[in-house]
A = this chain, B = another copy of it.
């Protein structure tokens, strides 16, 4: 039988892909990665440390090895560099907590019925999905993403410091954890940051601002970015992971507001999943569209061409695209 005979392997693998998610979740719950990081490297000692059955640990650790999270040598398991960085609880970049956000019922329930979302062309959850006002999911998001976002926030603050822009007034729209604005405030001692988000989310950002010692340069606007008075005269407006939740028309109306709030020569900085024009590469970026289909009424992962058009329609003269080291997302800088 030739090698190119069709096989149902991809079908089976994908039909069972949900098991990968559940295995990872179990390993995080059992703190298996931390135990291995501590040097417990065989099933019997790991079982003892994790309060689990030896047979259970052996099967789970083998499965995680197959998925690329562990390395197995004989009957010993060790962490990959990625797992040591993001899944060992002792690492400052520990990402286990992010599962609280990624697996929030709001998301998993939206994905229970993808057909309905495809039929409708938007979330079928019936209540506006994740963009409903004051959705508690954003508090979970703000809290759980903190360790993951430290590095990208640093990278973006570095980008801002290279922009040859005198940054004194920054507006952080849908600030979430607030890390992007806070990191800029740390780098630009004269900068004052105004963070906008739902009130319960702002509490998280304010806590981090205090922790960073910049609370006297940190102000907030509680509410809806589309309705709130944003103020004016900003040097820089941040739009991080926000525009993808909305239609082109809705984005444009917000961008007009953003344009008005900027001083002449000011800039909007957008952090986004920006797929190539083919909409299928790079995979982790292009895949993001489906999350928007299932969880929002009209959101999408827009291409650079689409973003450029939206910003132009809102009055911006030019938009440029920049990679962010260590992230699959990219930064757009749009000039007033």
Interface set of A (CB-CB < 8 Å, partner B): 1, 4-26, 29-30, 50-60, 62-63, 65-69, 72, 81-82, 84-87, 93, 95, 98-99, 102-103, 108, 111-115, 117-122, 148, 278-281, 283-284, 286-287, 289-294, 300, 325-326, 328
Contact = CB atoms under 8 A, between A and B. Distances in A.
Given A11-B87, A15-B99, A29-B115, 16 more contacts: A8-B86, A8-B93, A10-B69, A11-B95, A16-B291, A18-B108, A26-B115, A26-B118, A30-B115, A51-B119, A55-B121, A55-B300, A56-B293, A58-B279, A62-B280, A72-B278
A24 B7 contact: no
A115 B300 CA distance: 34
A324 to B, nearest CB: 10
Instruction: Quickly give the copy total for this chain.
Output: 2
A60 B111 CA distance: 12
A290 B60 contact: yes
Given A19-B291, A22-B112, A72-B278, A11 B82 contact: yes
Contacts of A6: 81-82, 84-86, 93
A81 B81 CA distance: 37
Given A15-B102, A30-B118, A62 B10 contact: no
A17 B20 contact: yes
Contact of A1 (B29, B30, B114, B326): B326
A247 B95 CA distance: 36
B21 A18 contact: yes
Contact of A289 (B53, B63, B67, B281): B63
A285 to B, nearest CB: 10
B24 A11 contact: yes
Given A66-B286, A102-B15, A114-B23, A7 B56 contact: no
